[in-house]
Amino acid sequence: MSVAGLFDLTGKVALVTGARTGIGRALATTLAEAGADIVGLSSRPMPETRAAVEAQGVRFHEIVRDLEAGGDFAPMLRELAEGFGAPDILVNNAGIIRRADLVDFTEADWDAVMAVNLKSLFFLSQATARHWIARGVAGRIINIASLLSFQGGIRVPSYTASKHGVVGLTRLMANELAGKNITVNAIAPGYIETDNTEALRADQVRSRQILERIPAGRWGVPEDLKTAVLFLAAPASGYVTGAVVPVDGGWLAR
């Protein structure tokens, strides 16, 4: 197989959560460039993502769903399989953040972040894995972790807890699903220019402190994650599972 063929996703379907903006849109577009049809899931419509994906000559299907509300994902997957195509790749990218001092952090903010960042990730992965196992097909699950999967951070207790949980679940799911020809891996982005980091970038003091700590000397952009998602989604990466790939400009090495 040629090098180009190693990353050819033609005929595959990728379900990307949180696909409306930022990292999610970049990952969806990247997988589309490799030939995959895209199912984008977000709490709001995503015309910009649709345009970016369809510009690659593949199909796009939109699902507007609030992951904080939870619910059973099996009917959604059945409808996809019947009307568009069952996903071969699941990218659990959706995530939210709430900032407050530990002593002021509310239960509502804790529950909202954990529901989106961790609970929905597990139950959507579970439903997707059940679908694959029942049909005897291979699958790829790619979770979006964080530098705060490894560090404590400040003023983001539920985000930190959820992203530690993402890495733990990645490893657990990898252990249980490897024998089913399903790989489960994670990408840990560094400080990326997204909506979630807007407050940090607007704070001149914090932004300077962060930049001084990054060996690469710049904030990342969503497109910096393109090679990582292609590697983990690739048909030829079937022996890679339980891994966490940092894309952080060297932050964790500092």
Q: Rounded distance, CA 82 to CA 66, Å?
A: 22
Q: Predicted confidence band at 203 (pLDDT cuts at 50, 70, 90)?
A: confident
Q: 3 pLDDT band (50/70/90 cuts)?
A: confident
Judge whether residue 184 has pLDDT over 80: yes
Looking at residue 194, what is its pLDDT? 86
**pLDDT value at residue 1:** 62
Which residue, chain included where needed, has tokens 């300077």?
208
Task: Tell me: pLDDT of 200 over 90.
Answer: no
Cα distance between residue 77 and residue 72, in whole Å: 10
Average pLDDT, integer, range 27-34: 98
Task: Say whether pLDDT at 4 is over 80.
Answer: no
What are the beta bridge partners of residue 41? 17, 63
**Contacts (Cβ under 8 Å, ≥6 apart) of 14:** 28, 31, 36, 37, 38, 39, 87, 88, 89, 90, 91, 233
Fold of the 3-195+223-239 domain: Rossmann fold (3.40.50)
Question: For 119-124, which contacts have Cβ atoms below 8 Å and span 24 or more sequence positions?
Answer: 119/70, 120/17, 120/67, 120/68, 120/70, 120/92, 120/94, 121/92, 121/94, 121/166, 121/169, 122/169, 123/70, 123/73, 124/17, 124/67, 124/73, 124/90, 124/92
Catalytic residue set: 159
* pLDDT, mean of residues 227-241: 96
CA atoms of 50 and 129, how far apart (whole Å)? 26
Residue 116, beta-bridge partner list:
none
Q: Supply the pLDDT for residue 107.
A: 98
Cα distances (Å, whole numbers) of residue 160 to 33, 192, 243: 32, 16, 19
Total-model pTM: 0.96
Measure the CA dihedral 167/4/48/163, to 10°. 10
Judged against a pLDDT cut of 70, whether residue 84 lies above it is answered with: yes
What's the one-letter identity of residue 186?
A: A
* Domains of the chain, residue spans: 3-195+223-239
- Element spanning 140, H or E: strand 139-144
Buried b / exposed e over 130-139, threshold 16 CB at 10 Å, is ebbeeeeeeb
> What is the pLDDT, as a whole number, of residue 180?
97
What is the predicted pLDDT for the residue at 5? 80
Report, as an integer, the average pLDDT of 69-98.
97
**pLDDT value at 40 more than 90:** yes
Which strands sit side by side in the sheet containing 13-17, from one edge to the other?
A: 60-64, 37-42, 13-17, 89-92, 139-144, 182-189, 244-247
In whole angstroms, what is the distance from residue 170 CA to residue 177 CA? 10
